Amino acid sequence: MSQSHKPKGRLRDRLLLVLSALVACTVVGGAFLFTEERQMNPMWVFLPLLSLGFFAQVGWDYRYEFRSLRFSMFFFGWLLINAFVFLFVVANFGWLYWVAALIVEVFVFYLTAYWLFGLTPPLRPRSKDSGQSRTDNDGDSGGERTP
């Protein structure tokens, strides 16, 4: 990439970052207004949003696998399981137990992804340069298969 494209790319990246922050604030603010209007506990809206955000983070580790319809169905099915676990655990035991249940659920998610698709969980944090493939560094795919 030439030097002339770097400032333009940085500007675009920062603009997208600000835009995504505004979208997140709008969604969370809208959720708060929804709970206030319906006179319900905001926890029932915010914790599922946090849960979905967490699974979006987990999904990022397997972003190349979404080309497969089978994996996509598995992942979105797991999101439904996550929502059910959230509702069941918080309604019956409280939100503190949900944190423990989420840890177990993520472990089972990675285990199931390994059993069904042969995908290993990422063993190290992402590098600062997310555009660089993990296979370029040390040959470890970090859970990603090359297409």
**Least reliable range by pLDDT among 18-32, 36-50, 76-90:** 36-50
For residue 16, pLDDT over 70 is answered with yes
- Per DSSP, the residues of 51-107 read HHHHHHHHHHHTGGGGGSHHHHHHHHHHHHHHHHHHHHHHHHT-HHHHHHHHHHHHH
Query: φ, ψ for residue 124 (rounded to 5)?
Result: -145, 160
**Mean pLDDT value of segment 54-64:** 80
Instruction: Give me Rg for the CA atoms of the chain.
Output: 19
Q: Rounded to 5 degrees, what angle do the CA atoms 111, 113, 114 make?
A: 65
69-111 pLDDT, tens digit each: 999 899 888 888 887 888 888 889 987 898 888 889 889 988 9
Closest to 106 (Cα-Cα) out of 126, 143, 78, 87: 78
Confidence of residue 6 (pLDDT cuts 50, 70, 90): low
Output the pLDDT for position 62: 85
Distance CA 31, CA 141 (A): 38
- How long a stretch of residues is the chain? 147
Confidence of residue 124 (pLDDT cuts 50, 70, 90): low
